[in-house]
Homo-oligomer: A and B are copies of this chain.
């Protein structure tokens, strides 16, 4: 998009995320957009519907911070550590609603939107108890074979927030390593906000165009935010801070604990945040 340009996190979020928006969160384990997500919390966004396939602790933090009215997901938890405690509390006390799919059906919901069709047929959500708890899930028959398939409805988020290795100023986004559903979720969305480890000259992008996962004309704003995926990781830059995830599990077991965690890690400026990271230990570049 012509108007794309280097923006601060605050300005990007102020311009492109509105209360009530459906927000796709990028990051399938890799390159989880913590910096952008935390900016949503600082900006006091409300009534967001957050969505992705496998949602980890960033989703839980947005819920804990009161930004979220609903979650659309295939999985939500703290990978290999435990459950999403703030999510659990929020559904127990009725403060949020949720809509529960599977990872493949979430990918198909996003793919349908990326491709501009209202649904895609699939061979899942036809058995087990999952289909019964999705309000209004319908089936279709293949007009050629008669086979019964699930009709997976498109999900077009208002805005995607994602993190990646690099982009140029016009918004060509390059990402490598684990992709998961990050790219399809961004492509599905009306607006895309990207934070990157580094903004590079367009000549760098043009030297490796196959690594460009999102073309510039789709991107609304690009922010240069080194370590913007911490405590998750960025392939080729820094590794995952597994201890941070374990620590979050411990602290998030109580409302007070999670509030303390957010106070420490979200209610701070970027320099203070960076100073708390053991960058020497985690850097891989």
Seen from chain A, the residues whose Cβ lies within 8 Å of a Cβ on chain B are 116-123, 136, 138-140, 142-145, 147, 149, 151, 153, 176-177, 179, 210-211
Contacts and interface: CB of A to CB of B under 8 A. Distances in A.
Contacts of A122: 117
Given A144-B151, A153-B144, A210-B177, A123 B116 contact: yes
Contacts of A119: 121, 142-144
Given A117-B121, A121-B117, A121-B120, A140 B143 contact: yes
Contacts of A120: 117, 120-121
Given A138-B144, A140-B140, A143-B151, 15 more contacts: A116-B123, A117-B120, A117-B121, A117-B123, A118-B145, A118-B149, A119-B121, A120-B120, A120-B121, A121-B121, A136-B144, A139-B143, A176-B210, A177-B210, A210-B211
A122 B118 CA distance: 9
A210 B153 CA distance: 29
Nearest to A153: B144
Given A177-B210, A210-B176, A211-B210, A143 B138 contact: yes
A148 B123 CA distance: 22
A122 B151 CA distance: 14
Contacts of A139: 143
A30 to B, nearest CB: 12
